[in-house]
Amino acid sequence: MTTGEKIIQECRDLIELLPSQALLAARQKHPGLRGLAVFPVYAPPEVIHAAGLMPLGLFGAGGKLETTQADSRFQSFICSIAKSTLELFLCGDLSPENGFEGAVFSSICDVARNLSSVVSRNAPDFYIEYLHLPQNAATEAARDYTRREFHRFRANLAHAIGRPITDEAIAESIKLYNRLRELVSELYEHRRVRPGTIRTADLFAVVMAGTFMMPEDFIPMIEALLAELRTCVPVQRDSVNVVLEGAFCEAPPIDLIDSIESAGCQIMDDDLAIGWRLFSRDVPATGDPVANLADAYLTSSAYTSVRHNNGQPRTKGLLQRVHDSHADAVILASAKFCEPALLDYVLFRRTLDEHDIPHLKIEFEEKMWTFERLRNEIETFTESLLFD
């Protein structure tokens, strides 16, 4: 195995762990480390890291838990990430005993809002934060409001852990996450410019693993991976270049991405785990670092279905993504029962039709074990484009 293959395998193994196991793995390098779970799509990891905690991506349990307790507290028509996240609290995986200080949710949808309340009620001794992100980022008032909200988060977290979170520490964490985002976007750019040197399933595993590690441990890994990829010879194959859109919150099973690729799609861009690579520019580390993070959220964020985009329609963002990545088609892959994705599907479909961009809609959930039917569907779609 080459160094790059070992790194990818390590990342694939890491994302198979439950949050408590991932924190335990991080403790091998950082004894006594405690964590704060971050429900997608976005909360500032820099503030959490500056508090001396590991910001850990809370993407549900990925099919590794039976959601028996959570099922009794939720309706059946709820996305799987919400159910399995609650199960993680109810079964004690996310608990103070396992090293967690708490969790942060944000205002992405009604499900996340309710989930945060249900978790608070069922885990009363846990610090649960709900970040009220602005619904309209384009107004004058949004700047002050978002800054106040980010400052409130910092103050509440500091109170919960019983120690201050200093500007200096946040500035240092910003520098670290700027570097991390820079490397991840370099990986994305590498896939776009030299497709065939890294599969998206592997890229996805690497990005997801980054949410299960301390950034200072992740950065050298990604640097080593990039160094090897730069020397790789691309594997050429007949495929259709696609953008994968819709999985901005719940993460699809990695086998689903494998299936899309083996069915003849070359994924050129995607919105997987987008909250952890949200900003297109570095966040300034000077001045008021918390205000800088709030401003970056308002002015430098990628578009997602859960964020109103400075008055710019999200359909424009999707068209730009298709154009920039030289994609021929779009696969709209959303979590089952994900309302924001379903609402955007109507808009996206109409826009793609207007621009004669072929598209295919698929749905996923955590507990998907067979992908044969989906693979056949995608194969039919790609063949219709390749042999048209």
Binding mask 340-359 for ligand SF4 (x = CB under 6 A): xx------------------
- Residues in CB range of 33: below 8 A, 6 or more apart: 23, 26, 27, 53, 54, 99, 214
Task: Please name which of 336, 331, 277, 268 lies closest in space to residue 304, comparing C-alpha atoms.
Answer: 277
Task: Please name which of 271, 291, 216, 239 lies closest in space to residue 47, comparing C-alpha atoms.
Answer: 291
Residues 47-66 that bind ligand SF4 (CB under 6 A): none
Counting contacts by CB under 6 A, is residue 109 touching ligand SF4?
A: yes
By C-beta, is 108 or 205 nearer to ligand SF4?
Answer: 108
Counting contacts by CB under 6 A, is residue 174 touching ligand SF4?
A: no
Task: Output the DSSP codes for 297-360.
Answer: HHHSBPPBTTB--TT--HHHHHHHHHHHTT-SEEEEEEETT-HHHHHHHHHHHHHHHHTT--EE
Task: Give the whole-angstrom CA distance, residue 222 versus residue 207.
Answer: 9
Tell me which stretch binds ligand SF4 (CB under 6 A): 106-114, 120-128, 135-143, 344-352.
106-114
Task: Give the whole-angstrom CA distance, residue 346 versus residue 334.
Answer: 13
Counting contacts by CB under 6 A, is residue 363 touching ligand SF4?
A: no
- Using CA atoms, how far residue 374 sits from 190, 270, 323, 331, 384, in Å, is 28, 18, 26, 12, 15
According to CB under 6 A, which one of 37, 51, 58, 82 is a site residue for ligand SF4? Answer: 82
By C-beta, is 248 or 279 nearer to ligand SF4?
Answer: 248
According to CB under 6 A, which one of 65, 206, 272, 338 is a site residue for ligand SF4? Answer: 338
According to CB under 6 A, which one of 37, 333, 335, 362 is a site residue for ligand SF4? Answer: 335
| Closest approach of ligand SF4 to the CB of residue 337, in Å | 6
Counting contacts by CB under 6 A, is residue 306 touching ligand SF4?
A: yes
Task: Please name which of 343, 351, 350 lies closest in space to residue 308, comparing C-alpha atoms.
Answer: 343
| Closest approach of ligand SF4 to the CB of residue 187, in Å | 24
According to CB under 6 A, which one of 8, 23, 54, 112 is a site residue for ligand SF4? Answer: 112
| Closest approach of ligand SF4 to the CB of residue 257, in Å | 17
Residues forming the site for ligand SF4 (CB under 6 A): 79, 81-82, 108-109, 111-112, 249-250, 306, 335, 338-341
